Structure 1
């Protein structure tokens, strides 16, 4: 499987666990996401963007092949990087720096994640500490440890259910609700989305 890790502009906690996980991933960065490669101490295959948010000192010390984009364009550097990864044959994408920071970018990253999932790409978003997964209709199993906290969010509405949790839920239509926030896993959980879209958030 062709696995890509995309370094985006949001906050990212560069942990040893994340460094170890990235072994076997092809690493690409969008503009200011290049700073995360420096923090991780990992080489970039490609650094793409208009570089309006990457200071000169970073561009001088970070060795990476660059693809410079115009500042006036119809997509963000992050979306351009997602498209580049698709062109390179990505089958799984880990979007790092995709959560937190600017709300507009976080929401846009979630929408991009759903579009990737619809193409059959395995996708996860993370800030190095928390993780999010887009869920389309179907059955989804996650190997969580007992006691692990999680939330399910209809995005913006979904008919969904969950098993293997402290508070199980039979499939129910949900919209604009906090009913499925802050649950606890008893072990692996099974989420069934019968209609709509949802986000699984691990924290």
Structure 2
């Protein structure tokens, strides 16, 4: 099962995204449901306390709803991700998870690692950029020659890069921009020998 979780951050809607999402089941957290309306795709589940979903959105979007109490110790987004964990998907696409509020972005990145640690393929996207949480091990990505990317320790890691304009032998990194704004020569291989990292792809 492939799940696309629609969260409340900004999302650039493109025809390419619409086409890709045809292979996913769409779930939304509270105001993230507005993305389903713009995408014009059916929403299978709408979860939240609806405090950030205006009445016009609730009237315009028919979807099965799970109402949460406004007084709770987790966000609607986290509640949705934990429900996704219970469903056992093989892949989760987090849309609208980055950008907007910094506190929510950082929380979503941490939660993405929680999904990855359960063996789920995870990607975060705002419709323009793509971010992948990387756990210890070797990772391969089929990038085109010249494609820009950044590799970030999160918050510290021993990282290596091969197949880029600036290759990097396994190196301990922490609080640095050393591995930002690299360029792929074609497919790249990344090593996370210790810690956790984020691969960020951007135009």
Question: Deviation of residue 86 (structure 1)?
Answer: 1.6
CA contact (8 A) 2:99 2:126 kept: yes
Match in the other structure for 1:188: 187
Question: Deviation of residue 87 (structure 1)?
Answer: 1.7
Q: Please state whether the residue corresponding to 2:81 is helix, strand or coil.
A: helix
Question: Deviation of residue 89 (structure 1)?
Answer: 2.0
Per-residue Cα deviation, 1:157-180 (whole angstroms, up to 9, x for no partner): 000100010000000000000100
* Aligned length, in residue pairs: 202
Structure 1: where are the runs of 5+ without partners? none
CA contact (8 A) 2:85 2:115 kept: no
Q: Please state whether the residue corresponding to 2:170 is helix, strand or coil.
A: strand
Per-residue Cα deviation, 1:91-127 (whole angstroms, up to 9, x for no partner): 2100000110000000000000111111111100000
Q: Please state whether the residue corresponding to 1:90 is helix, strand or coil.
A: coil
Structure-1 separation of matches of 2:90 and 2:69:
28
Structure-2 separation of matches of 1:142 and 1:89:
24
Q: 4+ residue runs of structure 1 moved beyond 6 angstroms?
A: none
CA contact (8 A) 2:155 2:174 kept: yes
How is 1:18-37 mapped onto 2 (pairs within 5 angstroms)?
18-37=17-36
Question: Deviation of residue 32 (structure 1)?
Answer: 0.3
Match in the other structure for 2:123: 124
Structure-1 separation of matches of 2:38 and 2:165:
37
Structure-2 separation of matches of 1:137 and 1:88:
25
Q: Does residue 38 of structure 2 align to residue 56 of structure 1? A: no
Q: TM-score, normalised by structure 1?
A: 0.98
